Amino acid sequence: MDLSGLDTPAGLVDVSRMHANLERVGSYCREHGLSWRPHVKTHKTPELGAAQIAAGARGLSVATPREAEVMAGITNDLLFAYPPVGRAKLDRLVALPESLELTVGLDSLEALRALGSRAAEEGRELGVLVEIDVGLHRVGVPTPDEALGLAREAGRLDGTIYRGVMLYPGHIRSSVEDQGPALQGVSRYLEQVLDVLGSADLTPEVVSGGSTPTLFRSHEVAGLTEVRAGMCIFNDRAIAAIGACRWEDCAYTVLATVVSTACPGQAVVDAGSKALAREELRAPGGGYGVLLDRPAVTVKALSEEHGILDLSETDWRPRVGDRVRVIPNHVCASVNLQERLYGVSGGEVGDVWEVAARGRKRFGIQ
């Protein structure tokens, strides 16, 4: 089917760009001796998780029980990179296949003890990574001593095995060339944590970190053993804006149709906040997305089903019925709004993938 046969809005994946992105990350990780465990929140699609494994990923990272249930079908090595608090989540984790090597990241004794006892009830042992805060101030223990306390307890409990530490440098969103001092800060703090753990004979086997903005500088963080960067499969406007990818590495767009040109100076497309997501650009530029082939045209405003294109910086005057491809500010939030993704090669739709790990329901239960 060619693209004109698709109804809009539709999430498109440029398959050759996606494979080139995966290849680039895989070879960077090989070159620097880092394992790669991409976070699947970006695509939530089993076929694309499988493409990451084929490109060299050692396993996958997930944030929700449903992502874990879906991805357990394509890898036997998963990191649940989110504190699993509450009985419902624990029940779903321990119900994952026994053959799965499951590791869980967490930052509290409450979460750790509940996980240990639920796993022990099922006769299971789950790996634990102690999450440390390296500057985002979201989750993660704030001191090396607290990391040590959790590591000790994880090693002591029935039901858990201490495997190492996890960090997420999500506070580093400056342009790639300016990231040096912040990465050195992460490195210095991690070194302190590793020293404290090492002196207690709890040297981590895994030190899991990485993000897409900092991906290709991950080797500068001393002690890291794996990276979880997820957005790098597609990239987006924010990632291109900080120089962490080139414009031509953006593999995901939303195909949209011009539905109105009635208001002078603008055109309206059928991709609004329910297709692009209302995500601010955390870099200069403004708006909610930009056209793939006309970077001077931004989506300046959104209603739920309307995207307003700003034509003030272009001579281009689209007609009703014309089609455009929009690169969103934040790819993960846009993909999460699509039921399926269309893999496009040479203007033809070659693949249709269900975004099967969206939502909260238990996988397999309708």
Ligand X SMILES: Cc1ncc(COP(=O)(O)O)c(C=O)c1O
Residue 120 CA to residue 122 CA, distance in Å, equals 5
Nearest to 343 by CA among 45, 70, 71: 45
CB of 42 to ligand X, least distance (A): 7
Nearest to ligand X of 52, 61 (CB atom): 61
Residue 52 CA to residue 43 CA, distance in Å, equals 11
Q: How many CB atoms lie within 10 A of CB 143?
A: 13
Residue linked to tokens 């957005």: 231
Cα-Cα-Cα-Cα dihedral of 338, 273, 252, 8, to 10°? 60
Nearest to ligand X of 282, 362 (CB atom): 282
Nearest to 305 by CA among 73, 9, 10: 9
Binding footprint of ligand X on the chain (CB under 6 A): 39, 61, 81, 168, 211-213, 228-231
Q: Which residues pair with 206 in a beta bridge?
A: 164
CB of 211 to ligand X, least distance (A): 3
Q: Is 275 helix (H, G, I), strand (E, B) or coil?
A: helix
CB of 212 to ligand X, least distance (A): 4
CB of 228 to ligand X, least distance (A): 4
Nearest to ligand X of 175, 312 (CB atom): 175
Q: Tell me which DSSP letter residue 362 carries.
A: P
Nearest to ligand X of 139, 349 (CB atom): 139
Contacts of 55 (CB under 8 A, 6+ apart): 19, 22, 23, 25, 26
Q: Which residues pair with 103 in a beta bridge?
A: 79, 127
Nearest to ligand X of 57, 258 (CB atom): 57
Question: Do residues 166 and 136 touch, judged by C-beta distance below 8 A?
Answer: no
CB of 131 to ligand X, least distance (A): 8
Nearest to ligand X of 233, 258 (CB atom): 233
CB of 230 to ligand X, least distance (A): 4
